[in-house]
Structure 1
Amino acid sequence: MNDFILVINSGSSSLKFAILSQQGKQVILEGIAERLGSESASIDFEYNQTKETVSLNLGSHQDVLTSIKSWLDQHPHITEKLIGIGHRVVHGGESFSQSVLIDDKAMNAIEACANLAPLHNPANIKGITACANLFANLPQVAVFDTAFHQSLKQEQYLYPIPMHFYRDHTLRKYGFHGTSYRYISQTLSQVDEQSLHQGVIVAHLGNGASVCAIQDGKSVDTSMGLTPLDGLMMGTRSGSIDPMILSFVAKAEGKSLDDCLNILNKESGLLGISELSNDCRTLEEAMKAGDERAKLALDMFCTRTAKSIAALATSLTTFDHLVFTGGIGENSVYVRQQVCQALNLFGIEIDKQTNIDLPRKQIHKISKAQNNKTVWVIPTNEELMIALDTIHLIQA
């Protein structure tokens, strides 16, 4: 069956890709290009359980996708089954509440959102443009991180600033990780049908982290805002802080606004507090070895995550399920334990041994059997959602 989909996740300095088949359930090829824009740029191809690394001469997005096209030309049995390309696009603004086939009108709207996500949308556009040149006969689909949150009500997405900033510049909360949240909501409903009619909070915890309140299968509130800097403490991002800190740092150290924002985006979070790493695994190893700063960073991360979950619970009619996902949410025993311990007030209790013995990459319930609130660990799969949306729109 010809249903191979090339999935592209194009970032500013990296590009992840995969080819999925069988309605997105089988991974044929996957890989990543890293250090784009530098002389050491390279691309990894993983196929048939073997890995191949290729240097990139130019290190541009065009160069990456040309290399992917060259690999595919050498594997015609795969190329001939490709029916489309699905792109992760970070910001869809108010223009997109669902995935779309990419045409000139869609491209114009994606470009118009570039000012809302200057680190992400320009890179997404480069990936789409390069694919249009290299795979001219294949339809392309855009899947937006923000689309799932277009169901938020005004009282949730508006900021308490003069309304003309919203009218003139559409400054509002948009939220992100929407493709992951949509996947988790659908997957949870397959193991517990009642969840589609209940209140769910999902904690997508990774280097980028956010939480989302889902009622009756729809997003009703989320922690990230106009940009992915808002909300939880993250790997290198500060999350929500007193905005006057920017003014204080700028004056105290003679820094520009861009300098200060760079600190909040790239030098803060787990990295900034630990002064060691933004990687949760590295910090947990250091904590076990007695590094108090690593423990402080992890405990701050857990505390802020729990506070945000508690705040989002006020947007739900009932709070029935808590789901952990993302690299940290799926793999950190310590983070899950600390977050749930801070939420005992809500009647959330996990079975500590089940939490420790959790098998990787599997859906698992970790709450105590008698609990009225169910705690889950569900591995996310954004690539699958992108592939399914692409197939659906192409066939439609």
Structure 2
Amino acid sequence: MTATATRVLVLNSGSSSLKYQLLDMHDASRLAVGLVERIGEETSRLVHTPLATGGAKRETEGAMADHDAALKAVAAELAADGLGLDSPQLAAIGHRVVHGGLKFTAPTVIDDAVLTEIERLVPVAPLHNPANITGIRTARALRPDLPQVAVFDTAFHTTMPEYAARYAIDVATADAHRIRRYGFHGTSHAYVSRKTAALLGKDPSEVNVIVLHLGNGASASAVAGGRCVDTSMGLTPLEGLVMGTRSGDIDPAVTFHLKRVAGMSEDEVDELLNKKSGLIGLCGDNDMREIRRRIDEGDDRAKLAFDIYIHRLKKYLGAYTAVLGRVDAVAFTAGVGENAAPVREAAIAGLAEMGMSVDADRNAVRSDEPRLISPEDSRVAVAVVPTDEELEIAQQTYALVSA
């Protein structure tokens, strides 16, 4: 890598989508961002914004049969802005990989052996790892000479102690099938916990933080001195908080009951719990803005869904306060956490005995900057900290290849 190579392309490959950002790590600036949707369908859509040139957003439509075609289209858009993948300023490509198991506890330069291990983890991440693998193979084919780095959603949570990571099932069975709690959204939890410490003017090693990553997918983590000691998602992203379409915590016997009594297949139960539950299952909407609008109009189903959502948040706040022993801050992040003031207010309401409270005026402020929303004299700081998973991936990637 040359001294002038400071750019990192971050790729987040989904089953039918490709999100990307090109960043310059000299100053952490974004040079371009974009998204390819509906890959493999009759009409795909690419949205590209060249931030470096200040140009207007460009949208193109056309058939893109696979991720290879999609990435080539992205490369052409970048080249049109003078930011091509053949640039000597490009240091590496960083890939979001959802599941790294126990083997990958840090960002890792991808070679054939690493790719094989990521493939071995497909059974525990069947919805995510295959798409991540496709993106890696495509990028390696386009730039085989360039370092490709995998940054794993699960890595931040590998510091959990065994008593937090283990399920109380037969050990031999669990080990044979790699059944344990892995956790997800790790790049977000790492970034937000570190930014929260900075907001308090402290080193991460001095701060205990509960991070609430609340988007369509949602997870909580207990972070002690910069290390994750517990998190709400488990073997899969289904466990934990109530989410947009996922149930979160549920009695596992519900699945047996549905198979025996309702005659549902394994795939039908899987679809129910992952895609037809959570907020959308409770009230038919998974957009918190719409749910709040319906509540304001007196909709009882929307109110019940909101109350269930908040009740689960409070349970995790209480549980993680007990796990940490001392809580210095609670940080809200992601789409709902950053933008839904009523969620933040309701989640913290009634927790004054735990040292947590929200200042109504501060909570009502909308901003893209990290900020405190608790009163000046609050024992526990309550913060809103916008997440930046792409920047976290880029920073981890660049630190590895420039070391």
Are 1:387 and 2:394 matched, yes or no? yes
Amino acid across the alignment from 2:153: D
Residue 227 (structure 2) aligns with: 218
What is the CA–CA distance in structure 1 between the aligned matches of 2:289 and 2:43, rounded to whole Å? 26
Residue 293 (structure 1) aligns with: 301
Q: Which moved more, 1:240-249 or 1:285-294?
A: 285-294
Q: 1:270 to 1:373 in 2, by over 3 A?
A: same
TM-score by length of 2: 0.94
Question: Could you say what secondary structure the match of 1:290 adopts?
Answer: coil
Residue 13 (structure 1) aligns with: 16
Compute the displacement of 1:194 (Å).
5.5
Are 1:50 and 2:56 matched, yes or no? yes
Are 1:370 and 2:377 matched, yes or no? yes
Deviations 1:352-382 (A, max 9, x none): 11101x2321111011111111101100111
1:33 and 1:41 in contact (8 A); partners too: yes
Amino acid across the alignment from 1:282: E
Question: Could you say what secondary structure the match of 2:57 adopts?
Answer: strand
Amino acid across the alignment from 1:55: E
Amino acid across the alignment from 1:72: L
Q: 1:274 to 1:104 in 2, by over 3 A?
A: same
Q: How many residues align?
A: 394
Deviations 1:217-258 (A, max 9, x none): 100000000000000010000001011111222233322011
Are 1:63 and 2:72 matched, yes or no? no
What is the CA–CA distance in structure 2 between the aligned matches of 1:70 and 1:395, rounded to whole Å? 27
Q: Which moved more, 1:71-80 or 1:279-288?
A: 71-80
Q: In the TM superposition, what are the counterparts of 1:1-396 in structure 2 within 5 Å?
A: 1-23=4-26, 25-47=28-50, 48-79=54-85, 80=87, 81-192=89-200, 193=202, 196-275=205-284, 277-356=285-364, 358-396=365-403
Q: Which moved more, 1:249-258 or 1:215-224?
A: 249-258
What is the CA–CA distance in structure 1 between the aligned matches of 2:226 and 2:353, rounded to whole Å? 25
Amino acid across the alignment from 1:41: S
Q: Which moved more, 1:243-252 or 1:119-128?
A: 243-252
Amino acid across the alignment from 2:79: D
Deviations 1:170-197 (A, max 9, x none): 2100011111111112212222206532
Q: Which moved more, 1:112-121 or 1:40-49?
A: 40-49
Compute the displacement of 1:205 (Å).
0.5
What is the CA–CA distance in structure 2 between the aligned matches of 1:153 and 1:304, rounded to whole Å? 23
Moved over 3 A (4+): 75-79
Compute the displacement of 1:59 (Å).
4.1
What is the CA–CA distance in structure 2 between the aligned matches of 1:295 and 1:157, rounded to whole Å? 34
Compute the displacement of 1:78 (Å).
4.7
2:41 and 2:63 in contact (8 A); partners too: no
Compute the displacement of 1:149 (Å).
0.7
Question: Identity over the aligned pairs, expressed in percent?
Answer: 40
For structure 1, the 5+ residue unaligned runs are none
Over the aligned positions, Cα root-mean-square deviation in angstroms equals: 1.6
Q: 1:236 to 1:98 in 2, by over 3 A?
A: same
TM-score by length of 1: 0.95
What is the CA–CA distance in structure 2 between the aligned matches of 1:113 and 1:235, rounded to whole Å? 25
Compute the displacement of 1:289 (Å).
2.8
2:199 and 2:371 in contact (8 A); partners too: no
1:305 and 1:339 in contact (8 A); partners too: yes
Q: Which moved more, 1:287-296 or 1:170-179?
A: 287-296
Q: Which moved more, 1:248-257 or 1:148-157?
A: 248-257
2:373 and 2:384 in contact (8 A); partners too: yes
1:10 and 1:16 in contact (8 A); partners too: yes
Amino acid across the alignment from 1:44: V
For structure 2, the 5+ residue unaligned runs are none
Compute the displacement of 1:208 (Å).
0.5
What is the CA–CA distance in structure 2 between the aligned matches of 1:121 and 1:294, rounded to whole Å? 34
2:94 and 2:151 in contact (8 A); partners too: yes
What is the CA–CA distance in structure 2 between the aligned matches of 1:33 and 1:292, rounded to whole Å? 38
Deviations 1:279-305 (A, max 9, x none): 112222222233222222222111111
1:198 and 1:318 in contact (8 A); partners too: no
Question: Could you say what secondary structure the match of 1:76 adopts?
Answer: coil
Deviations 1:151-177 (A, max 9, x none): 111110000111012221221000111
What is the CA–CA distance in structure 2 between the aligned matches of 1:24 and 1:310, rounded to whole Å? 39
Compute the displacement of 1:106 (Å).
1.1
Q: Which moved more, 1:369-378 or 1:306-315?
A: 306-315
Question: Could you say what secondary structure the match of 2:383 adopts?
Answer: strand
